[in-house]
Amino acid sequence: MKGLIRDLEQLVGRDSVQADPEDLLAYQADATGYFAKGEPVAIVLPADVEAVSKTVAYACEHGIPITPRGAGSGLSGGATPIKGGIVLDLKRMNRILEINHGNLTAQAECGVVLADFQRAVEKEGLFYPPDPQSMTVCTLGGNVATRAGGPHGVKYGTTGNYVLGLEVVLPDGSIIQTGSSCVKHSVGYDLTHLMTGSEGTLGVITKVTVRLLPKPEKDRTIIIVCESIKQAVETVSEIIARKIVPAKLEYVPSGAIRGMNRYINPPIETEGGAYLFMMIDGSLSQIEEESEKIKNLCQNSGVLSVKVIEEEGEAASYWKARTAAYPLLLAMVKKVIIEDVAVPRDQIASFAESLEKIAAETGIPIGMSGHAGDGNVHPSVIVYDLTDEVEEKAQKAIKMLIQSGLDHGGCISGEHGIGLHKSSFIEMELGARQIQLFRDIKKAIDPKGIMNPGKIWVEEGEAC
Ligand SMILES: Cc1cc2nc3c(=O)[nH]c(=O)nc-3n(C[C@H](O)[C@H](O)[C@H](O)COP(=O)(O)OP(=O)(O)OC[C@H]3O[C@@H](n4cnc5c(N)ncnc54)[C@H](O)[C@@H]3O)c2cc1C
């Protein structure tokens, strides 16, 4: 062990290596530390791509597992170093290298925190829409590696829709540039989008080039208080069917609203059975017209109330509360597993009904929240007691809701990725042949299997 630490210090400098037991503890898991933990032997904090390359080449030569890590905010165990080895903490690589007005693109190092990037871009009148709700901590590299998304997904898509090019350190330490900063690029296999969503299993993303948009002229927040989840779901279907595409459209369960009222100013009534937080954006005339349409549609469908928020501070308080929803829920219950299933938008109502049945059958409370407009649902599975019996019931509920998502024509993850926790479900969606293809691609790029081993699919004979 000492030899390994000494070698790493020689390669990247003493300041870039940590191996004290208290330092290692902080890297045992991502935000899902309540599931599984790993035991890394060293943490390397590279300052540049050369240090990444040297570390990865060393790990390759010695067959040492290496786990890339952004902020460790992942919700699928992706950055959990389950096979030990080296964790590569990329947060020091946090420079924004270019914001190009003429080309509507930007380039940044992988460790830039998303909120910092968005602020820098918006200061220049531009817009980078992907908005995972962990934006104050998560990194651009982590977003690309998980193909992260957020409320803006309904109108603007997710990270994968914005990535144009990447700098990647491959598992042998070589450095490649994929894609380009051109809007169009048709040159061979699309390695950029193979690396996007690869969860650290194919290489280390060190630089990211993304597409930007002009910042929309105006936006407006509309809050709809519904009697029930059913009414909320039907209202969403009506809005989409009228060809209104909101910038954001989120479900908030009634159980969450009391906690969220700590942020909402002035607080909202708590009598609703389900809430919809919506944002529309565009030109002033467009948002005036859409607000009217939405108000009329909601009044006709008999929702409890529709509030069109004119005051900017008040509107912002709703979105701050939405961002805080998961940490607030964590503070209220012993353990909550935030699931991540996406279904076609016309299947949301039926999927929501199936969640109620699964909750009744297993005895596990399941909250319905998520990105209503794009069909990405985050059922919150409440583990109300930390006993084996309740954990077993919760796992049964998870399996059932994943199967229900698939039965509704959906997929097992809309944005969090597969990582460790969903690896035993992936074959249910993709089948054995596709998983074999994944393995073959992995073997071609990472023949020694050092990059983030134990993730995405279950190895033969291995139970995750
Ligand atoms: C409160 C909260 C809210 C969240 N809300 C959302 C949401 O709305 N939408 C959403 O999509 N996710 C959400 N997440 C999950 C998480 O924040 C995202 O998955 C995010 O993209 C992870 O970024 P990270 O920098 O923390 O990556 P990490 O958690 O450190 O890593 C995630 C995966 O990417 C790999 N990786 C990280 N950086 C690199 C790199 N540079 N090169 C190669 N591989 C890399 C890791 O090995 C791992 O497999 C939320 C999490 C929390 C805690």
User: Which of 43, 56, 69, 95 to mutate for ligand 1's pocket (most ligand atoms within 8 Å of CB)?
Assistant: 69
Q: Is residue 166 part of a domain?
A: yes
pLDDT at 144: 98
Sorted by sequence, the CB contacts under 8 Å of residue 308 that are 6+ apart come out as 220, 221, 222, 291, 295
Same domain, 210 and 222: no
Considering 188, 214, 240, which residue would you say is the last residue of a domain?
Answer: 214
Same domain, 169 and 85: no
Same domain, 103 and 193: yes
Q: Is residue 441 part of a domain?
A: no
Residue nearest atom 36 in ligand 1 by C-alpha distance: 142
- CATH code of the domain containing 381: 3.30.70.2740
Q: Is residue 464 part of a domain?
A: no
**pLDDT, tens only, 134-160:** 999 999 999 999 999 999 999 999 999
Same domain, 134 and 155: yes
Same domain, 111 and 74: no
Cα–Cα distance for residue pair 28/408, rounded to 1 Å: 36
Same domain, 139 and 112: yes
Cα–Cα distance for residue pair 241/252, rounded to 1 Å: 21
Q: Ligand 1: which atom is nearest the Cα of residue 90?
A: 41
- Number of compact structural domains in the chain: 4
Q: Is residue 31 part of a domain?
A: yes
Residue nearest atom 50 in ligand 1 by C-alpha distance: 134
**pLDDT, tens only, 78-136:** 999 999 999 999 999 999 999 999 999 999 999 999 999 999 999 999 999 999 999 99
Same domain, 153 and 110: yes
Q: Which structural domain range is residue 394 located in?
A: 333-407
Three-state SS for the chain is CHHHHHHHHHHHCHHHEECCHHHHHCCCCCCCCCCCCCCCCEEECCCCHHHHHHHHHHHHHHCCCEEEECCCCCCCCCCCCCCCCEEEECCCCCCEEEEECCCCEEEEECCCEHHHHHHHHHHCCEECCCCCCCCCCCEHHHHHHHCCCCCCHHHHCCHHHCEEEEEEECCCCCEEEEECCCCCCCCCCCHHHHHCCCCCCCCEEEEEEEECEECCCEEEEEEEEECCHHHHHHHHHHHHHCCCCCCEEEEEEHHHHHHHCCCCCCCCCCCCCEEEEEEEEECHHHHHHHHHHHHHHHHHCCCCEEEEECCHHHHHHHHHHHHCHHHHHHHHCCEEEECCEECCHHHHHHHHHHHHHHHHHHCCCEECCEEHHHCEECCEEEECCCCHHHHHHHHHHHHHHHHHHHHCCCECCCCCCCCCCCCCCHHHHHHHHHHHHHHHHHHHHCCCCCECCCCCCCCCCCCC
Distance 135 CA to ligand 1 centre (A): 10
Same domain, 207 and 116: yes
Residue nearest atom 11 in ligand 1 by C-alpha distance: 148
Q: Is residue 415 part of a domain?
A: no
Which positions of the chain have pLDDT values less than 50?
A: 461, 463-464
Q: For the chain, what's the residue count?
A: 464
- CATH code of the domain containing 61: 3.30.43.10
Distance 111 CA to ligand 1 centre (A): 11
Same domain, 255 and 198: no
Report field, pTM of the whole predicted structure over 0.75: yes
**pLDDT, tens only, 425-449:** 999 999 999 999 999 999 999 999 9
Q: Is residue 435 part of a domain?
A: no
Cα–Cα distance for residue pair 395/421, rounded to 1 Å: 11
Same domain, 41 and 131: no
Residue nearest atom 52 in ligand 1 by C-alpha distance: 134
- CATH code of the domain containing 236: 3.30.70.3450
User: Which of 45, 109, 133 to mutate for ligand 1's pocket (most ligand atoms within 8 Å of CB)?
Assistant: 133
Distance 301 CA to ligand 1 centre (A): 38
Considering 299, 326, 353, which residue would you say is the last residue of a domain?
Answer: 326
Q: Ligand 1: which atom is nearest the Cα of residue 195?
A: 43
pLDDT at 460: 65
On the CB side of 265, how many CA atoms lie within 13 Å of its CA? Answer: 9
Same domain, 206 and 242: no
pLDDT at 464: 38
Query: Which residues' Cβ are closer than 6 Å to ligand 1?
Result: 30-31, 67-75, 78-79, 90, 110, 132-134, 138-139, 141-143, 145-146, 148-150, 199-200, 204-205, 326-327, 415-416, 419, 452
Same domain, 107 and 44: no
Considering 294, 310, 326, which residue would you say is the last residue of a domain?
Answer: 326
Q: Is residue 424 part of a domain?
A: no
Distance 142 CA to ligand 1 centre (A): 5
Q: Is residue 70 part of a domain?
A: yes
